């Protein structure tokens, strides 16, 4: 009986975790037509995301001539380095959203990543914290 109760609790915890942290792994292409870009100037972008148990690896490219950004970070709020840039980033989950706080020199930007229920669309809300900008950019990616 105790084993059955224990297994039920473990299964419940695993289901709750899966709902809180939806899978972001995949190759994502920017859909500029569905995006609402007010301060960001980008026509094409590809993000490749690989998730681990408590880690995330993101490679970003915004065209053939742009340099790629690469981050291998934990998702517990600890700071990591963004290679290809002089930035630092930290990631953590806020319910179903993955939040990234990025510091690049004297600029601070928050990214909130949320996947659609069908897993085919990734919406990234970009807020410029320092310097503060009243406009929020929304990048919409489709799974490739």
Query: Which tens digits make up the pLDDT trace of 109-130?
Result: 999 999 999 999 999 999 999 9
- At 18-50, the pLDDT tens digits run 446 789 999 999 999 999 999 998 889 999 999
Which sign, positive or negative, has the C-alpha torsion 74, 9, 113, 65? positive
The torsion region of residue 66 among left (phi > 0), alpha (psi -120 to 50) and beta comes to beta
Strands (E), the chain: 26-30, 46-51, 55-61, 69-74, 76-83, 87-94, 97-104, 107-115, 121-130, 137-143
Among the listed ranges 57-66, 99-108, 132-141, which one has the minimum average pLDDT value?
Answer: 57-66
The answer to whether 101 touches 82, Cβ cutoff 8 Å, is no
Domains of the chain, with CATH numbers? 23-143 (2.40.128.20)
- Percent of the chain scored above 70 by pLDDT? 85
- Percent of the chain scored above 90 by pLDDT? 74
More confident position, 16 or 106: 106
DSSP bridge pairs for 55: 74
């Amino acid at each position: 009986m105790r084993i059955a109760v224990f297994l039920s609790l473990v299964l419940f915890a695993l289901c709750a975790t899966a709902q809180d942290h939806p899978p972001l792994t995949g190759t994502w292409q920017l859909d500029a037509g569905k995006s609402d870009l007010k301060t960001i100037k980008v026509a094409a972008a590809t993000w490749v995301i690989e998730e681990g148990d408590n880690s995330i690896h993101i490679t970003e490219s915004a065209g053939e001539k742009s340099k790629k950004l690469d981050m291998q970070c934990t998702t517990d709020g600890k700071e990591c380095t963004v290679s290809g840039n002089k930035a630092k980033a930290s990631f953590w989950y806020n319910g179903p959203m993955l939040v990234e706080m990025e510091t690049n020199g004297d600029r601070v930007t928050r990214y909130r990543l949320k996947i659609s229920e069908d897993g085919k669309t990734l919406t990234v809300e970009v807020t410029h914290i320092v310097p503060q900008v009243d406009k929020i950019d929304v990048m919409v990616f489709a799974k490739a």
